[in-house]
Homo-oligomer: A and B are copies of this chain.
């Protein structure tokens, strides 16, 4: 199949479902850009797919089942901070295990995440840009909101294909019952509905200036206070649950419980792997560490002496070492894909002293659509299958959804009634460098399309600089020669200008044709068997987010 501009600009623009039908009666619906690439590369991809299918069949024959999948996803790390010893050394901590993973496996130089915790997690779970399912914001207690039951997670997809599935760690996808991981396809889960900020929301947090006033028991009585509902109370820190069962609150909301979550999650991750190593079912386990507490650990062992450096070296990296060892000991490393990566760039904007997250190569961090917000360290380790290499291709966190499904022979379980932004990157995993099936990324910040990347070019749809260096409302950058997106390309960029505008238009048409779905909303903390009275008291959404008719004085 040769480049067919008519096909691409007519069939796809006019009717995305037509494109989909054209490929197969039951094809997955992708973002418009996929069809532009498919029309030009489809023949080549078809050939590759035959070889890939043969390779996967061979592996299944050898091991008696589809490959296991382990997904480790931690927080807030700049590209290069881990995996590259020459950057480790200037940051004052060391990640020898991740560096070994990078040396033995694939290091991706262009893995794009969403720009913050909740959106990236939602993207990994659903294969969709979070703008499509309302999960583009970062949740804090109490949000009465979460990942909708209408979404189909990779855990559901793989479960339907016969995988044993488990989730341990930082979920951060909501506090409503339908959003709990054991209600989203995981057989078992120990999870935090929110993020690490909860480590401060207790008496131990009193010592940290930054949290003044976060929770009621820490507050001096305020004679001017009139609203008891403004500051959260009755919130839940950790839950555990099994598919089809009620959740249980695990531990309490103390710092003492907080610091046990990661060790317990790691223990359960390794236990789950051991239990399923020799079973008939392949397994999929997501271990998403909480990584650090915002209460500084008095024990400093790194030169950086930072929350980030200490937890990166002694928590995340140390566990990755144990994980690789365990997979080898169990003799399943060669049938297990490990993906290890960060969820977004550093929380770098005016960080508290000692946090240790900092911009390095790329500009920006958490929340930003510049590369620093979304271009994260990422590694694939699969001895005997993934060759040691550095990969220059574009990869997106949503691609894990489609790729894990393909590896697990579960592609047929991916829903066909919505846009799946993730594309199948099995070829990138197996064949490596230059084998990506995308050369583009749309980058949202919240619900706003901030930028679009195509190849080594990037267009900022929103000007991130109020003084507008470029003299125009938006600007184009060359990422190779201006990694920090500082110097807009003007005359030199013109050949790409209309190309970018077409990409945006095509992409927005997919949102028009398949309208964005809302996040789940409702009472928080239902479905918890041992819910405390204060949790039950805080549970009713209507008490805090009433419908307009219930607000006194409103229309």
A107 touches B (CB below 8 Å):
yes
The yes or no answer to A360 lying at the interface (CB within 8 A) is yes
- Closest chain B residue to A482, Cβ basis: B358
User: Which B residues are in CB contact (< 8 Å) with A353?
Assistant: 478, 481, 487, 489-492
A90 to B: closest C-beta gap in Å: 5
Inter-chain CA distance A492–B353, complex, in Å, is: 7
Contacts of A84 in B (CB 8 A): 84, 86-87
Contact B481 A355 (CB under 8 A): yes
A304 touches B351 (CB 8 A): no
Q: Is the CB of B358 within 8 A of A456?
A: no
Contact with B along A98-130 (1 / 0, CB 8 A): 000010000101100000000000000000000
Of the candidates B306, B481, B492, the one whose C-beta lies within 8 Å of that of A304 is B481
Which A297-351 residues sit within 8 Å CB-CB of chain B? 303-306, 308-309, 348, 350-351
- Cα–Cα distance between A84 and B107 once the two chains are bound (Å): 13
Asked if A86 and B390 make an inter-chain contact with CB atoms under 8 angstroms apart, the answer reads: yes
Q: Which residues of B contact A360 (CB under 8 A)?
A: 360-361, 483-484
In contact, B480 and A309 (Cβ under 8 angstroms): yes
Residues of chain B contacted by A304 (CB below 8 angstroms): 480-481
Interface membership of A64, Cβ < 8 A: no
| Chain B residue at smallest Cβ distance from A455 | B303
A359 CB-CB contact with B under 8 Å: yes
Residues of B within 8 A of A80 (CB): 80, 86-87, 361
Query: Smallest CB–CB gap between A265 and chain B, Å?
Result: 27
A83 vs B305: C-alpha distance when bound (angstroms): 27
Q: Are B361 and A481 in contact (CB under 8 A)?
A: no
A247-B355 Cα distance, complex, nearest whole Å: 58
Interface residues of A in 459-509 (CB under 8 A from B): 478-484, 486-487, 489-492
In the assembled complex, A354 has its CB within 8 A of some CB on chain B: yes
| B358 engages A481 (CB within 8 Å) | yes
In the assembled complex, A91 has its CB within 8 A of some CB on chain B: yes
CA of A308 to CA of B478, assembled, Å: 14
Interface residues on A, range: 35 or more
How many angstroms between the C-alpha atoms of A192 and B360 in the bound complex? Answer: 35
- The count of identical subunits is 2
Can you spell out 22 A-B residue pairs with CB atoms less than 8 angstroms apart?
Answer: A79-B90, A85-B390, A86-B109, A86-B390, A90-B480, A92-B481, A309-B480, A309-B481, A350-B487, A351-B487, A353-B481, A353-B489, A353-B490, A354-B481, A354-B492, A355-B481, A358-B481, A358-B482, A358-B483, A359-B484, A360-B361, A360-B483
CB pair B484 A358 closer than 8 Å? yes
User: Does A210 touch B at the CB level, under 8 Å?
Assistant: no
Q: Residues of A at under 8 Å CB distance from B?
A: 79-80, 83-87, 89-92, 102, 107, 109-110, 303-306, 308-309, 348, 350-351, 353-356, 358-361, 390, 392, 456, 478-484, 486-487, 489-492
Q: State the Cβ distance, A93 to closest chain B Cβ, in Å.
A: 8
Q: How close is A84's CB to chain B, nearest CB, in angstroms?
A: 5
Taking A80-B361, A489-B353, A491-B353 as contacts, is the C-beta distance between A481 and B306 under 8 angstroms?
yes
For A305, what are the chain B residues with a Cβ–Cβ distance below 8 Å?
A: 480-481
Write the chain B residue with the least CB distance to A303. B480
Complex-state Cα separation, A85 to B99, whole angstroms? 13
Chain B residue contacts of A486, Cβ below 8 A: 348, 358-359
Residues of B close to A492: CB separation below 8 A: 353-354
Min distance, Cβ A475 to any Cβ of chain B, angstroms: 13
For A355, the chain B residues whose CB sits under 8 A away are 481
Query: CB-CB < 8 A to A90: which residues of B?
Result: 79, 109-110, 361, 392, 479-480, 483
Q: Which residue, A107, A303, A351, A353, has most C-beta atoms of chain B within 10 A?
A: A353
B89 and A456 contact, CB distance less than 8 A:
no
Residue of B nearest to A478 (CB): B353
A110: nearest chain-B partner, CB-CB: B90
Q: List residues of chain B with CB within 8 A of the CB of A392.
A: 89-90
Question: How far, in angstroms, from A390 to B88 measured CA to CA in the complex?
Answer: 10
* Cross-chain contact of A480 among B91, B351, B456 (Cβ < 8 A): B91
In the complex formed, the residue of B with least CB distance to A489 is B353
A86→B486 CA distance, assembly (Å) = 21
Q: Which residues of B contact A359 (CB under 8 A)?
A: 483-484, 486
In the complex, how many angstroms separate the beta carbon of A199 from the nearest chain B beta carbon? 19
Chain B residues with CB under 8 Å of A481's CB are: 91-92, 304-306, 308-309, 353-356, 358
Contact A456 B303 (CB under 8 A): yes
CB A533 to nearest CB in B, in angstroms, measures 41
Q: Which of A87, A89, A90, A92 has the most CB of B within 10 A?
A: A90
